[in-house]
Amino acid sequence: MKHIPTFSERAERWVLVIICLDIVLQGTETIPALAGAATLFRWMGIGTWLWFTIEYSVRIRRAATWKAYAFSFYGIVDLLAILPLWLVTGFDLKALRAFRLFRLLWATTKLAGRSGALAKLARAFSFAKDEAGVLLTGTGVLIVTAGLGMFHLEHEAQPEVFSSALDGLWWATVTLTTVGYGDVYPVTASGKALGAVAMFAGIGVIGATCGIMADALREASSELE
Averaged pLDDT for residues 158-173: 92
Q: What is the CATH number of the domain that holds 158?
A: 1.10.287.70
Averaged pLDDT for residues 173-179: 88
With a cut of 80, say whether residue 115 has pLDDT above it: no
For residue 108, what pLDDT band results from cuts at 50, 70 and 90? low
Residue 128 belongs to domain spanning: 119-224
Note whether 13 and 103 are same-domain residues: yes
Domain final residue pick, 98, 115, 132:
115
With a cut of 80, say whether residue 103 has pLDDT above it: no
Note whether 98 and 12 are same-domain residues: yes
Q: Answer whether 150's CB lies under 8 Å from 195's CB.
A: yes
92: exposed, middle or buried (Cβ count in 10 Å: 0-12, 13-18, 19+): exposed
Q: Answer whether 147's CB lies under 8 Å from 173's CB.
A: yes
Note whether 18 and 111 are same-domain residues: yes
Note whether 83 and 137 are same-domain residues: no
Alpha-carbon span 185 to 165, nearest angstrom: 14
Q: How many domains does the chain have?
A: 2
Query: What pLDDT, in 10s, does the model give residues 121-153?
Result: 777 888 888 888 888 899 999 999 999 999 999
Q: What is the CATH number of the domain that holds 94?
A: 1.20.120
Alpha-carbon span 201 to 178, nearest angstrom: 10
Structural domain includes residue 192: yes
Per cent of the chain over pLDDT 90 is 24
Within 10 Å of residue 114's Cβ, how many Cβ atoms? 14
With a cut of 60, say whether residue 7 has pLDDT above it: no
Higher pLDDT, 196 or 183: 196
Note whether 111 and 11 are same-domain residues: yes
Structural domain includes residue 54: yes
Q: Answer whether 194's CB lies under 8 Å from 146's CB.
A: yes
Which residue stretches of the chain are H helix? 7-28, 38-62, 66-70, 73-87, 100-115, 117-154, 165-176, 189-224
